[in-house]
Structure 1
Amino acid sequence: MGQMRDPVASQRHSGPDSTALLDAGADERWTYAELDRAVERTAGRLWALGVRPGDQLGVLADTGPDFARVVHATWRIGAVLVPLDTHLAERELRERLACVDLVALLAGRPHAERARSIAEVPVESLQASATEPAEFVAEDPPPDAPRVMLFTSGTTGQPKAVVLTGRNLVSSAVASAFRLGVLPEDRWYDPLAGYHMGGLAPIVRSALYGTCVVLPDRFDAGRALSHLHDHEVTGVSVVPTMLDRLLDAGEFPESLRFALTGGAPTPPELIARCEERGVPIHPTYGMTETASQVATARPAEAYANPDRAGRPLAFTRVRALDGEEPLAPGEPGELVVSGPTVTTGYYGDPETTDRVFGPYGFRTGDLGVVEPDGSIRVLGRVDDAIITGGENVHPADVARILREHPDVEACAVVGLPDPEWGERVCALVVGEASEAALRAFCEGRLADYKRPKTIAFADSLPRTVSGTVDRETVRDRLAERSERLE
């Protein structure tokens, strides 16, 4: 892999008249020739602001055509894109800015005032500017030059800037294409935020493929479903909660080839809904540090094994470790990922970088199993493991058994402090099953120490914005239940 020309410039020559970008809200579209001219002007503006190859450019803006142009413009001049979460409070934004070394910050109109209050660098409007574009020479940086830095807090709660190189992004795009397939008429609907890898990836990948990315101004299930039909969308990236709402909204278009779910584990009951409705769901296990997908299941795999995330993508290897020792297939341990999509580390944080990398690759902090057939089963975070009476209990194993009960729609399993056993297994259940019925159901299916000692019921599981079960809220509800029983 030699010097890496920016994707839009490449597509200007190979497919200038192909549709590159479609604004679903305004129903506007750009060919690659038109997008190339817009990217060139944006890159000239950045150059006039003093942004140079290797410089870090912050962006505080909603995802849309303007954001996409900046993504490609930073690549064109060899700068590093640093998207910021628009929902964060000013204090949280300042914490992230302290982790990086921006030379300028672009802000969308709704966020301009906040940007000026937090930034110690020049702040420029994303949409319009008095700054005239300057002449510049496009930079074709080496593959391992940083292209983007995305923030993650992991289990520590402290923000860390994940460095992703051109090699990471291109390798991820290629591996994803091998798993999902790519067709010239593809249109990838992307309602996810560009400050997350799941939202940024379709913008970059579609340009690499020479296909079209469809960007809505916001996510509303009804409007999104109309967009899927109106624009004959072939693929969509969503978190599980979004897909659930889309299923509630109506029927999917026949054009849809894949519905890629990530950002949180895909509940088996959602996979069952997709099978019943004929929706081509592709559950995914991935993370920022691997430029998105690690493993992805095709629909038939997902329907047959809804508790698994499919097999690793091309060029990616996943192992389960016990400490520093690789485990045999089928044994649970910490998942470790290696391959060309894996980050080079965290910017300005060599201590954390050294801690998470070992001889077998990047230590994810996720507890999981590499099955004998190579598929991945994620059990949760290593820190979520319940230790009761000296025995390890993996919450996902208990939840899987509980979900087999016909009257259980969903459940979450956590540990609570116990004066005798250290921790006890507890479950929050959605469904019509009774506590007595669940206790009887677990006999013969779970070892005694794995059976929930506290069971509570709810109309729905509390979830985070991304659709992940909010385990702290689950613990609080179960703790309240325990206190009432004492």
Structure 2
Amino acid sequence: MDFWTARGEPGEVVDRLRDWLLDPPSGAAPGLVVETSGSTGAPKCVLLSREAVLASVRASAARLGASGPWVLALPATYVAGVQVLARSLVAGHTPTVHERDGWPDGEGWFVSLVPTQLTRMLSVPDDVAALRRAHTVLLGGGPIGGTLRARAAEAGVRVVATYGSAETAGGCVYDGLPLDGVAVALGESGRIRLAGPTLFTEYVGQPELTREVLVDGWFRTSDAGRIDDDGHLVVIGRVDDVIVTGGLNVPGPAVAERLRAHPDVTAAEVLGVPDPEWGNRVVAFVVGAPGLGDLRDWVAAAHPRAWAPHQLVRLDAIPLLANGKPDRQALLRAASEEVPR
């Protein structure tokens, strides 16, 4: 099997990616391997063809209505970062590395962020001024609540929410609508299925898992969703984000979004943790001052009281993986180390 892996410093990945995309060797081009985040366990090695990456690049530009220079503000070794580099290179531009070079001076550039990054940047005037100059801020990699989008709009920042994964060569659904050539369907329990030219080839070294999730040209994701009245995909969260507690199904992402709207909460996540009484207890991981009773009442004011958290874990910051996503394993460890209160 001929492939190369996105590893190393951004400049190294850019050089290799440039050759692979723009000047491939004669014959069949090797595949590109990117690792998943490993947020729920061991990372998987996802094999992407050159055609899948280019299909994603072209479909993204068509949906945004423009192409141009991109700013890399994510790790270059995960699929979101690889796609930032690929889009910029295909458009004829060397990408800007934000950590090294800061924001570009001009207007009309593009950037991809995760919700945590945008939340923090909207509190920094210089970042807000820069993001206003961007053509588009793609926002993906986690739940995107209405509160965050409203803050961005109020600040004059154009945000497009994306949904996808390494297995789809990055975001393939923009603001709830699939990119050209991409198909969306819902399977059992609302499990999201995706098809189209951006799909991955296989998990390297895991043929059984590949056969489990790639079925008849469809990728069975680990996420649940619904189609709203306007035909947009609404991502509810991971299938295992639905917490079965006391015989009830509690959507963890919806509870977390409600907690983030509390005036004294700056960040929040919600997970289910095994519990001898409830089966799973709803645990709120919060950066902020409110007590458990206050948070339970806050959730119950907008949702059924049965959705209210059973346990509060206060944190100085939500632990994150290298790609900016919440570190679920670290959160679960934090919950197990505390006595429910």
**Structure 1 length-normalised TM:** 0.62
Contact 1:189 1:233 in 2 (8 A): no
Q: Deviations over 1:71-95 (max 9, x none)?
A: 23245674xxxxxxxxxxxxxxxxx
| Aligned with residue 259 of structure 1, among 113, 118, 137 | 137
Would the aligned equivalents of 2:4 and 2:31 in 1 still touch at CA under 8 Å? no
* 8 Å CA contact retained: 1:333, 1:368: yes
1:152 aligned to which of 28, 36, 40: 36
1:361 aligns with 2:248: no
- The answer to whether residue 67 in structure 2 is matched with residue 192 in structure 1 is no
| Identity over aligned pairs, percent | 34
| SS of equivalent residue, structure 2 residue 312 | strand
CA positional deviation for 1:258: 0.8
Instruction: Report the CA distance between 1:146 and its aligned residue.
Output: 4.8
Contact 1:334 1:382 in 2 (8 A): yes
Which residue in 2 is equivalent to 1:219?
99
Alpha-carbon separation, structure 2, partners of 1:60 and 1:169: 17
Whole-Å separation in 1 of the counterparts to 2:40 and 2:311 = 28
Shift of 1:63: 1.1
Structure 2 stretches of 5 or more lacking a match?
none
Distance of 1:168 and 1:389 partners within structure 2: 44
Whether contact under 8 Å (1:269, 1:409) holds in the other structure is no
Aligned to 1:212, what secondary structure does the other structure show? Answer: coil
C-alpha deviation, 1:481, in angstroms: 4.2
Matched, 1:61 2:8: yes
Q: Is it true that 1:203 corresponds to 2:69 in the alignment?
A: no
What is the CA deviation profile of residues 76-120 of structure 1, one whole-angstrom value per residue up to 9, with x for unaligned ones? 674xxxxxxxxxxxxxxxxxxxxxxxxxxxxxxxxxxxxxxxxxx
- In structure 2, the residue matched to 1:392 is 249
Q: Out of 210, 232, 239, which is 2:114 matched to?
A: 239
Q: CA deviation at 1:334?
A: 1.8
Larger Rg computed on CA atoms: 1
**Which residue of the partner structure matches residue 160 of structure 2?**
282
- From 225, 228, 235, the equivalent of 1:378 is 235
Deviation at 1:200, TM superposition (A): 1.8
Q: Which has the higher contact order (CA 8 A, sep 6+)?
A: 2
Do the aligned partners of 1:427 and 1:478 also contact (CA within 8 Å) in 2? no
Q: Alpha-carbon deviations, 1:394-437, whole Å to 9, x = none? A: 20122233344444443211122222221122212334544333
1:74/1:359 CA distance change after superposition, 3 Å: closer
- Unmatched 5+ stretches in structure 1: 1-53, 79-137, 298-309, 323-331
Classify the secondary structure of the residue corresponding to 2:41.
coil
8 A Cα contact 2:21 2:50, kept in partner: no
1:424-439 equivalences in 2 (<5 Å): 424-439=281-296
Alignment partners' CA distance in 1, 2:259 and 2:135: 32
Between the aligned partners of 1:353 and 1:194, the Cα distance in structure 2 is 25
**How far apart in 2 are the matches of 1:77 and 1:178?**
23
Residues 29-85 of structure 1: CA distance to partner in whole angstroms, max 9, x if unpaired?
xxxxxxxxxxxxxxxxxxxxxxxxx84345643112x5423223245674xxxxxxx
What does residue 320 of structure 1 align with? 186
Once structures 1 and 2 are overlaid, which stretch shifts more, 401-410 or 446-455? 401-410
